[in-house]
Amino acid sequence: MSLDAVLSQIDEDLPAATERLLDLLRIQSISTDPAYKEACDTAADWLVADLQSLGVDAKKRPTPGHPMVVGHAGPENGKPHLLFYGHYDVQPVDPLNLWDRDPFDPAIEETDAGTVIRGRGAADDKGQLMTFMEALRAWKTVEGDWPCRITFFFEGEEESGSPSLVPFMKENAEELRADFAMICDTGMFQSRTPAITTMLRGLLGEELTITAPSKDLHSGMFGGIAMNPIRVLSRIIASLHDDQGRITIPGFYDGVPELSDELEAQWQGLAFDHAGFLGDVGLSHPAGEQDRTPLEMIWARPTCEVNGIGGGYQGDGFKTVLPSQASAKISFRLVGDQDPLAIRKSFRAMVEGMLPPDCTIEWTDHGAGSASGTATDDPVFGQALKALSDEWQVPAAYIGCGGSIPIAGHFQRILGTPPVLIGFGKDDDQIHSPNEKYDMESFHKGIRSWARILDAIT
């Protein structure tokens, strides 16, 4: 096997690979919005066709939501059987007016910081998914086949909490079980250091609507005597953190581990530039628990964040309304052994205990998943780390991730398949936000990295 030949093939084919990615980015596969159901289907078809063009026996597999794409290829030869996972769905694009171009009319742009691929899904996750597709394409072109058994598993509901995933995994456990699940949906450390992510936070989503008067009222006629639900909601939200940034929900910190000495030392070695991290988004003060380091705040400590709040008059001008309802969407990032369902119960009890007379509350459950961690004892991790270091010419690192990828835990728990989380996203990719981009460097070196990893572990 000639790794150099595969790497050269990748370099030569980069323009065509970029065109393929742009093609995929044009498909408006927003999974949370039912208006884009057909587009999600089209993205799944696109991937099936691309896999088939690689000689993979691939099929679109229906679920009650958006389809999965599953394909199998490569020899059964005693080498590790690798599963590659990515998601073809993307986040909604609003607010559209903050985009500098149509989010689904992607383009290559030259910026001061280099060449970027701009468009919704460029980094999360279509560009990342295509890094391993292109690596495998180049490998097949040069070598005629792959060095081991390979399963492809693409999902179209990741951005909406993967409702069909667990049932699908359970039903197809035998088919999907592999030695390792390579998940390309994470980033590098501080945009420069290639990394394997070994800790992901869990996620609990809650939405609440408080109703006080039975209809909107005139705030002059009723103000002072009628209970205002926004006042109630504000007091509840304000009470969720204390002055030190600690979350006040009873039992919230049960199951939150302290950092091991080993991890603490390792993270100190990473020399996280928190001033730069915050400075890039116009901030300067870490706002989490004040007795924790910045890296702990984003990787190892749980959070409670209000993601949206509504009620009353929000249009232009002014309206003296005393609203009937107020609502909030609140998410919790969880770590260690925190139990999402126990936290949901305690949170709801605390909030309901703060409701004054005449107020009622309605809850909407937006999913609950615990944190996950991966042991890195298997030699595959060291081999992948070295392959990454070789490509990027910087020692690769084991890192945590503040985001949540529930599937990582599901692979481990349902299939017994350890997840290997490697991605090439950068902190300024603006995933989930307007003007999302993926650096051409991430795409190109990402493809090359997968070729090196495949070479190193088989």
Binding to ligand BES, residues 84-113 (CB under 6 A) = none
296 binds Zn ion (CB under 5 A): no
CA pair distance 237, 356, nearest whole angstrom = 15
DSSP state of 146: -
Identify which of 428, 421, 370, 371 has the alpha carbon closest to the alpha carbon of residue 398.
421
374 binds ligand BES (CB under 6 A): no
Direct distance between the N- and C-terminal alpha carbons of the chain, in angstroms, rounded to an integer: 11
Binding to ligand BES, residues 132-161 (CB under 6 A) = 158-159, 161
Burial letters 260-276, b for 16+ CB under 10 A, else e: eeebeeebeeeebebee
CA pair distance 256, 262, nearest whole angstrom = 17
Identify which of 300, 267, 305 has the alpha carbon closest to the alpha carbon of residue 287.
305
Cβ atoms of 274 and 427 within 8 Å: the answer is no
Which residue carries 């560009």 as its tokens?
A: 127
406 binds ligand BES (CB under 6 A): yes
Using the minimum distance from each CB to ligand BES, give the nearer residue, 139 or 411.
411
29 binds ligand BES (CB under 6 A): no
157 binds Zn ion (CB under 5 A): no
* Paired sense of beta strands 180-183 and 372-373, if any: unpaired
186 binds ligand BES (CB under 6 A): yes
187 binds ligand BES (CB under 6 A): yes
Count of residues of this chain found to bind ligand BES when the rule CB under 6 A is applied: 15
Q: What is the CA radius of gyration of the chain?
A: 24
Using the minimum distance from each CB to ligand BES, give the nearer residue, 203 or 454.
203
Task: Work out what residue 403 binds among Zn ion, ligand BES, none; the CB cut-off runs from 5 to 8 Å by kind.
Answer: ligand BES
Q: Which of 404, 417, 442, 449 binds ligand BES (CB under 6 A)?
A: 404
Q: Which of 124, 157, 289, 436 binds ligand BES (CB under 6 A)?
A: 124
429 binds ligand BES (CB under 6 A): no
191 binds ligand BES (CB under 6 A): no
Task: Work out what residue 89 binds among Zn ion, ligand BES, none; the CB cut-off runs from 5 to 8 Å by kind.
Answer: none
Element (H, E) at 153: strand 150-155
Using the minimum distance from each CB to Zn ion, give the nearer residue, 185 or 391.
185
Binding to ligand BES, residues 437-456 (CB under 6 A) = none
Interacting stretch for Zn ion, rule CB under 5 A, among 1-9, 123-131, 229-237, 358-366? 123-131
Backbone angles phi, psi at 135, to 5 degrees: -65, -45
206 binds Zn ion (CB under 5 A): no
Q: Which amino acid is at 205?
A: G
CA pair distance 319, 10, nearest whole angstrom = 60
Q: Which amino acid is at 392?
A: W
Task: Work out what residue 161 binds among ligand BES, Zn ion, none; the CB cut-off runs from 5 to 8 Å by kind.
Answer: ligand BES
Using the minimum distance from each CB to ligand BES, give the nearer residue, 131 or 186.
186
Q: Which of 50, 89, 124, 391 binds Zn ion (CB under 5 A)?
A: 124
Using the minimum distance from each CB to Zn ion, give the nearer residue, 40 or 178.
40
Q: Which amino acid is at 200?
A: L
Respond yes or no on whether the N-terminal peptide bond of residue 125 is cis (omega within 30° of 0).
Answer: yes
The tally of CA atoms less than 13 A away on the side-chain side of residue 97 is: 0
Binding residues for Zn ion, rule: CB under 5 A, are: 124
Binding residues for ligand BES, rule: CB under 6 A, are: 124-125, 158-159, 161, 185-187, 203, 401, 403-406, 425
